Structure 1
């Protein structure tokens, strides 16, 4: 006699079109504006090209991010640039502009003024 046996099986799934990834937005640009109080290490700007330059008490990361080196008040100025032509970012974004004047925005941090009250050691 022949016995009929059914095995567990699964239907083949239809192919689905994978959604096209448009990329996750990075929300680049300024994070702190003129007049804001920032702590040391605060991100000021994220950028892909050199829209903003680091000024007084501001550092620049490898990816172009500007950050505060000291706590203080943010000051944004527009200044004539005197770039360091040895820097790779300068070479990449300003090639061919070696002998031209141009102005760029600079991020500066003005630290909190230190106190001026001192006591002479001889008076103690």
Structure 2
């Protein structure tokens, strides 16, 4: 219908306009279609308030056998303290320093004199903390010394 209206207008105005002016005055009707600029993807879950898990906690239970360097506890801060043959890495994780059996104990904290907790302990405050220790496995003589003489 719109196309027929344009044709009738162009035919009635053509005697008054030159051919070039008539073509400029009434352009041909093009149907322009807007397309999506991006392909729509699937909906995503709203993750606000649901942070990714850090997988912290105890990784090895009491009485388990561990190898040197195995992760015992992944923690933020000092919830668990390193005991004998256990070291703490730069992210407060506890790791085994030797092969052996894990022992989890609750002991009274005895801080160094330069610790901020030292004065409280000297005043009689008792602090019990959880310690992870590793009892190393004894080395067995598997080789014989054979003299060549």
TM-score using structure 2 length? 0.61
Q: Gaps (5+ residues) in structure 2?
A: 1-22
Q: Residues of 1 paired with 2:103 and 2:141: CA distance?
A: 23
- The aligned residue for residue 107 of structure 1 is 132
Q: 2:60 aligns with which of 32, 36, 44?
A: 32
Structure that is richer in helix per residue: 2
Q: How much has 1:49 moved relative to structure 2? A: 3.0
Q: TM-score, normalised by structure 1?
A: 0.72
Judged with a 3 Å threshold, the aligned counterparts in structure 2 of structure 1 residues 22 and 111 are, in CA distance, closer, same or farther, namely: same
Residue in structure 1 matched with residue 86 of structure 2 by the alignment: 58
Residue 84 of structure 1 corresponds to 112
Instruction: Pick one of 75, 85, 91 that aligns with 1:47.
Output: 75
Select the structure of larger CA radius of gyration.
2
Counterpart Cα distance in 2 of 1:27 and 1:119: 46
Q: Does the Cα contact within 8 Å between 2:96 and 2:134 map onto a contact in 1?
A: yes
Distance 1:117 1:39 in 2: 19
Deviation at 1:21, TM superposition (A): 4.4
Please, which runs of 5 or more residues in structure 1 have no aligned partner?
none
